[in-house]
Structure 1
Amino acid sequence: MKFCSVCGHAVSSRIPPGDNRERFVCDNCGTIHYQNPRNVVGTVPVWEDKVLLCRRAIEPRYGYWTLPAGFMELGETTSNAAARETLEEAGARVEVQSLFSLLNVPHVHQVHLFYLARLLDIDVEAGEESLEVRLFSEDEIPWHDIAFPTVGQTLRYFFSDRASGHFGLHTGDIFRPLRDG
């Protein structure tokens, strides 16, 4: 950030009085510009024994499979945003159920939240951000072509919970993989 969104003057990075982190502070009006993680919300849309996945038509991870999800908008609840994203990306109408996974992804400044959801019908179609949408049984999941670690982890939680007959809330952290050399 270079300029204040309030008055347009230059900002500098410093620790404001009473704080313990560097923030962008306007040198003119004193506005402190906080930067916070963004919420990515979506669903695990289920029809009978299958889960609906979308094949991405956008970067990052073009052509890879994902659960329908996207950035939460201002004025939305997380469950409303999850239903909206599912409709936009997969043309799927769902009954949003319980929060299922909450995964922190600090290296990209995001928190991913996935809700269990019951598909209301299977009249689905790829939205603008999807190449195709498809229902998968557990043994059909393209595990090597899953777009994001949070999606893979959420799917593993789902199939494990379904096998045990008990669905719970799963939380955790996804860190950037370490690279050799």
Structure 2
Amino acid sequence: MTQPSASFYFPAPRTQSFCNQCGSKLTRLVPPDDNRMRDVCENCGAVHYQNPRNVVGIVPMWKDDQVLLCRRAIEPRYNTWTLPAGFMELGETLGQGALREMAEEAGAQVEPGPLFTVISVPYAEQVHAYYLAKVTSDVLDPGPESLEARFFHLDDIPWDNLAFRTVTATLERYVADHKAGRFQIHEFDIAPRDHD
């Protein structure tokens, strides 16, 4: 698969220019009885709220000491390794979204486990949640968003080529919990780096 062109990846902007109710131009202002700037239609009165986006994923383990990672075939972070994860869809639970992403990106069969990490990423307007899961077969069938899916021994995780800081942080906590012989839920924040 070839790398997609830059024009292929264009996330929808968080702010809007026009009202999706009446089509009028929006104004940025603090509505009455509110406490922050919003996109507001002064024609029909609609307030266009923006809320954090949820990213859901799985830490898929094979034979207790191998983790399944996917090499990204899409931007951002093309050709880097990641846990199977992505944005939740409307109408899904956290767990359903995580299993869907697992199927789409790795094509692996898993036995779902407990929630493992919940990570607030306020500078990216996101919350990431990862579940533990046991891979039940070594047969993989990665979809079009992955160049490949592969098992890595915990000692061989490609730390210098991981796609996202939330993936790195989740894997670091998994390795630490694995060494300690007990797993717990980790809830934490990731702050922006100076160059983010």
Aligned partners of 1:54 and 1:133 also within 8 Å: yes
Q: Distance in 2 between matches of 1:30 and 1:120?
A: 53
Q: So what's the TM-score if we normalise by structure 2? A: 0.89
Instruction: Report the identity percentage.
Output: 54
Aligned partners of 1:101 and 1:154 also within 8 Å: yes
Q: Distance in 2 between matches of 1:59 and 1:53?
A: 16
SS in 2 for 1:83: helix
Aligned partners of 1:91 and 1:127 also within 8 Å: yes
Q: Distance in 1 between matches of 2:141 and 2:159?
A: 22
Q: Distance in 2 between matches of 1:166 and 1:63?
A: 32
Q: CA deviation at 1:59?
A: 0.7
Q: CA deviation at 1:174?
A: 1.2
Aligned to 1:172, which of 188, 191, 196?
188
Q: CA deviation at 1:168?
A: 0.5
Q: Which runs of 4+ in 1 moved over 4 A?
A: none
2:39 paired residue number: 24
Say what the alpha-carbon RMSD is for the aligned residues. Answer: 0.9
1:49-64 counterparts in 2 under 5 A? 49-64=65-80
Q: Distance in 2 between matches of 1:51 and 1:33?
A: 41
Q: So what's the TM-score if we normalise by structure 1? A: 0.96
1:121 paired residue number: 137
Q: CA deviation at 1:125?
A: 2.2
Q: Distance in 2 between matches of 1:126 and 1:94?
A: 14
Q: Distance in 2 between matches of 1:8 and 1:120?
A: 51
1:77 paired residue number: 93
Q: Distance in 2 between matches of 1:2 and 1:178?
A: 29
Matching residue's letter, 1:13: R
Q: CA deviation at 1:18?
A: 0.8
Q: CA deviation at 1:105?
A: 1.2
1:112 paired residue number: 128
SS in 2 for 1:166: coil
2:105 paired residue number: 89
